[in-house]
Structure 1
Amino acid sequence: MKILFLHQHFYPETVGTSTRAVEIVEYLVQKGHDVTVVTGIPSHPSTMRSGEVSRTQPRYENFRGAKLHRVWTYGSNKPDTFLRRMAAYGSFMVLGFLKALFLREKFDVLVAISPLPNGIAGLGLSLLRGWPLMFDVCDIWPDCAIAVQMLRNPILIALAKWAEKMVYKRSTRIGVVTRGFIENIAAKGVPREKIRLLPDWVDPDIYDSAKINRHAVREEYGLNNKYVISFLGNFGLIMGLETILETARIVRDTDPDVLFLFVGKGVAQPMMEEKIARWNLTNVRIIPYQPRAKVPALLAASDALIVTYMKNEITLITVPSKIYEYMSSARPIVAGVAGVIEEILTEAGCGLVSRSRDPEELARHISYLKAHPQEGHEMGKRGRQYAIEHFAFLKVAEAYEQTVAETAQK
C-alpha cells in the first residue's frame, strides 16, 4: 500500500504521540509498504521548554525508508496557553494540509493522527484528493480540552464538536487507544463497526526485569535497604501527584524503610518540591528525567510501582502508556485510579487500587505489599503476562496494519 501519514509531531521529537507514529511507520516500511509522512518541525511544548531538540530540521529526508516532509509550525517555550496551543495546531493544520494536498503522489490511504485539527486537515484531503481516511484517535477532542478548562468559549466548543462529528463521519476507520474511547465515540452516534481498538504498546523484552541486574541498579542509585515504590514519567498536573506525597507523609510516620522515588520532570515539580520541603518528606526522592533506555532498569530496581490520576470524564477513559511499562516490568502496582485503568489492573490481577484516591487507603496497600512480598511477586507476574497478551508491540502493530488495509479497501 501507498500510505500517507499526517501528524504534527514526529522524529526527532520523543514526546506526545511522536514515538507511536515513528514506531508504526518503521513497522509498515519493514512490511514492504510505501510510506510518506507529512509532519511539522519540532514544536511540542515540552520540546520547546527543554531545548533538547533543534527546530532546524531538513524539510525533506528519507527516514528509515519513509519519505518525510516537514512544514513550519508555531512553537513557543513560554507557558502553554489555549491561544499558543491553537497557534501550534492551527499552523500545522493549514500548512500540513497544503503540503499534502500538492504532493504529486497518489495514495491508497491517508492516516491522520489526533488531535482534532489533524483530523480536520485529513477530512479536507480526503474530500479533495479522494483518499480513504483513517483517523487515529489518541486524545478525545474537544472533550479533553473542555475537561481541563482549556476550551471554555461556548461558540468554539460548538464548532469543535461539529468538526469532530464531521471527521468521524468521513473516516472509514477510527483507531482508538482505549476501550473507554470506543464508548465515548459510539455515544456520539458513530457506528461501532468503524472503530478499532489500537492501544499504545510496549516491548515486553525491553522491560523484562529478569534480564536486569537489579542489585547493581539499586547500588548505583543508592536504593539499598529500602522498600522502593516508584513513579516514573511526566510530572503532569493531571497525574494528581499531591496524592502520592500525602501518602508518603502517612507512610513516613509508620514505616521509615519505605522510599518514594519519583523519576521524571514536568510542570508539577515545583509543587512537589514545595510539599516535600514543607512536610519534611525525608522518605521522598526526585531523580531528574532519565534517558528512556534507563527506564527498564529503574522499574526493575523498584519493589512496587505507583500511579494516580485526577478524576474527570477524560481520565476515566484514558490509560497513560506508563501503565503498560509498569505491567511489563513484573512489579505490583498501587493505583489511585478509576475507570479503564482500574478495569485493566483488576482484570490482570496485578495491583491494589483505591478508586477514591484516598492516601490512607494507598498507604495501607503499600504496607500490605511490603508485608506480603510473595503475593506482590505473583501480582507482578500476572501483570506482565497480561501486558504480553494485550499490549505487545507486534500484536498491536499487526492490528494497526490490518486497520489501514481495511481503510484502503473501502
Structure 2
Amino acid sequence: MKLLVVSQYFAPENFRINDLVAGMVARGHQVTVLTGQPNYPQGQFFTGYGWHGPRDETLCGAEVVRVPLMPRGAGGGLRLMLNYLSFVVTGIWGALFRLRGDFDAIFVFEVSPVTVGIPAMVASRRFRAPVLFWVLDLWPESLEATGAIRHRGALALVGHGVRWIYQRCARVLVASQAFMPSVVEFGTHPADVRYFPNWVEGDYRAEADCELPALPAGFLVIFAGNLGAAQDLPAVLRAAAATRDLTDVHWVFAGDGRMAGWAREEVIRLSLRDRVHFLGQLPSAKMPALFARAAALLVSLRPEPIFAKTVPGKVQSYMASGRPMLAMLDGEGARLVNEAGCGLACAGGDSEALAAHVRALRGMDEVQREAMGRAGRAYADAHFDRDRLFDQLIGWIDEVVREQACSKTN
C-alpha cells in the first residue's frame, strides 16, 4: 500500500506519528510524509534545518517531503497563528507540486492545529485518495478552553472549518471515546467514526541502558511531557508546596513547553528549589529508565470540559511502566486510571486532593504500590497494545481503499 501521511510535526520532533510511520514501513507499506521544518518545542529550527531545507530526506524508513514554515518562537498567540497558517499555505503548495507518484490513502495526524487537514484535502483531491483523520485535539473546543480564541464569531468560523474538514474524510479516528459526540456534531457520520487510542511506545518492561540526569534520592513524583497551559502547573506546584513537610518527597519534571519558564520562576518564588527539579526535554529512549525510578507518575489537566474528554498520551506509557499513577484530571482520563486500578485520581485543579494522594501513596507499603503498577501494565497490555492497534488501523485503511475503488467503478 502507498500511504501519504500529512503532519505538521515529524522526526526529529518527538511525536507519536514517528512510531506509527515506522510501524507502517515495518509492515511492508510504502510511506511518504508531508511535513514542515522541525521547530517544536523550542520554537526555533532544529540544527541542520531551516527555511532552505533540507527539502527531502529519509526518516523512520519513509520518504519525508518538507515544506518551509514560520517557527513557533516562544509560543505567543500571533507567532503560533503564523506557524499554523504558514504550514497551511506551504503544505498546499507541497501537496500540489512536491509530491510524486500516487497514493492509495492519506492519514492525517491532528494534534493542534486542525488546519493540517487543509493540505490533506488538497492532496486527497489531487490523488483521488481517501482521508483518515486522527483527532487528538478537539477544535474549536480546545481553543476556547485555553483562551487562545475568545471571540464567539471567531470560534464559530473555526467550527465551520472543522466541519468542512470532517465531512471530507472517509474516516475520523478519535483518541478518546469522549471525542465521538463532538466529531459527529461537526459533521461526521457516526458510522465513519473509529476509536483509535494512543498505544504504548517502546518497551517499559525493562529499564533502558542509558544515562539519566542526576536525580534526588527519596520518593520521586515524576511528570513527563509538555509543560503547557493545559497541564495546570499552578495547581501542581501548589500541591508540591503543600507537601514541603515531607522531606523525602521530590517533584521531578522531564519536559519543556510554554509554561516551563514560568514554572521555574514560581518554584523560586515558593522556595521549592530543593523539592522541585527540572530535567528539561529528554529523548524518548530514556523514558523507561526514568519511569522506573519513580515512586509515582503524575498526569494533570486543567478542569475544563474539553480536557475532561481528553486522554493524555502519557497515560498509556505510564500504565505500561508498571509504576503507580497520580492523576489530577477529570473525565475520560480519570475513568481509565480508576478502571485500571493503577493509581489515585482526583478532580482537575484540586491541588489539596493531589497533595493528600501523595501522602496516601507514600504511606502505602511497597507491596500495595507494586500491585497498582501491575494493574496498570495489565490494562495497557489488554487495551493499548501497539501491534494490535496498528493492525486494526491497516484494516480500516484497506476498508476505505476498497470503498474508494468501488466508487470509482460505479
TM-score (norm 1): 0.88
Paired residue for 1:376? 369
Answer yes or no: is the 8 Å Cα contact 2:298–2:327 preserved in 1: yes
TM-aligned CA deviation for residue 290 of structure 1 = 2.6
Structure 1 residues 39 and 197, CA, compared in 2 at 3 Å: closer, same or farther? same
Answer yes or no: is the 8 Å Cα contact 2:95–2:120 preserved in 1.
no
Cα distance change of structure 1 residues 104 and 135 upon mapping to structure 2, 3 Å threshold: same
Aligned equivalent of 1:185 = 183
Query: What is residue 386 of structure 2 aligned with on the other side?
Result: 393
**Distance between the aligned counterparts of 1:96 and 1:353, measured in 2?**
41
Partner Cα separation in structure 2 for residue 290 and residue 32 of structure 1: 31
Task: Go from structure 1 to structure 2 and tell me whether the alpha carbon gap of 1:50 and 1:194 turns closer, same or farther (over 3 Å shift).
Answer: same
Q: CA deviation at 1:386?
A: 0.9
Give deviations 1:293-315, integer Å, cap 9, x for gaps: 22211211111122221111221
User: Quick check: 1:101–1:129 contact (8 Å CA) kept in 2?
Assistant: no
1:208 matches 2:191: no
Counterpart CA distance in 2 for 1:276 and 1:47 is 21
Q: Distance in 2 between matches of 1:275 and 1:7?
A: 34
Counterpart for residue 364 of structure 1: 356
Q: 1:204, 1:388 within 8 Å by CA — same for their partners in 2?
A: no
CA-to-aligned-CA distance 1:181-200 (integer Å, 9 cap, x gap): 12321233522221112222
Which of 226, 238, 261 lines up with 2:252 in the alignment? 261
Question: CA offsets, 1:181-231, max 9 Å, x none?
Answer: 1232123352222111222222362x125x5699x97xx73533x122221
The match for 1:90 is 85
Structure 2 match to 1:9: 9
| SS of equivalent to 2:243 | helix
The aligned residue for residue 230 of structure 2 is: 238
| Gap change, CA 1:125 and 1:271, over 3 Å in 2 | closer
Q: Deviations over 1:227-250 (max 9, x none)?
A: 222212222122112222222222
Q: Any gaps of 5 or more consecutive residues in structure 2?
A: 404-410
What CA RMSD, in Å, does the superposition of the two structures yield over aligned residues? 2.5
SS at match of 1:94: helix
Q: In the TM superposition, what is the alpha-carbon distance from 1:338 to its structure 2 partner?
A: 0.6
Partners in 2 of 1:235 and 1:140 — Cα distance?
Answer: 19
Partner of 2:407: none
**What is the alpha-carbon distance in structure 1 between the residues aligned to residue 6 and residue 255 of structure 2?**
29
Aligned to 1:221: 214
Partner of 2:56: 60
Which residue of structure 2 aligns with residue 274 of structure 1? Answer: 265
Distance 1:76 1:378 in 2: 43
**Aligned residue in 2 for 1:106:** 102
Alpha-carbon contact 1:47-1:53 (below 8 Å) kept: no
Q: Which runs of 5+ in 1 are unaligned?
A: none
Matched with 2:310 is: 318
Deviation at 1:329, TM superposition (A): 1.2
Q: How does 1:73-222 map to 2 (within 5 A)?
A: 73-77=69-73, 79-102=74-97, 103-114=99-110, 115-203=113-201, 205=203, 207-209=204-206, 211=207, 221-222=214-215
Q: Deviation at 1:76?
A: 4.4
- SS of 1:69's equivalent in the other structure is strand
| Residue 409 (structure 1) aligned to one of 402, 407, 410 | 402
Letter in 1 for 2:27: K
Structure 1 contact 263–288 (Cα < 8 Å) conserved: yes
User: When the two structures are superposed, what TM-score results if normalisation uses the length of structure 2?
Assistant: 0.88
The percent of aligned pairs where both chains have the same amino acid is: 32
Question: CA shift at 1:49, angstroms?
Answer: 4.1
Contact 1:6–1:111, Cα closer than 8 Å, also in 2: yes
Mapped to 2, the partners of 1:372 and 1:291 lie a distance apart of 31
> How far did 1:365 drift?
1.5
**Conserved 8 A contact 2:240-2:251:** yes
**Shift, 1:26, TM fit:** 1.8
Pick closer, same or farther for the CA change 1:7–1:284 going to 2, 3 Å: closer
How many Å separate the matches in 2 of 1:22 and 1:204? 12
Shift of 1:74: 1.8
Q: 1:291 to 1:38 in 2, by over 3 A?
A: closer
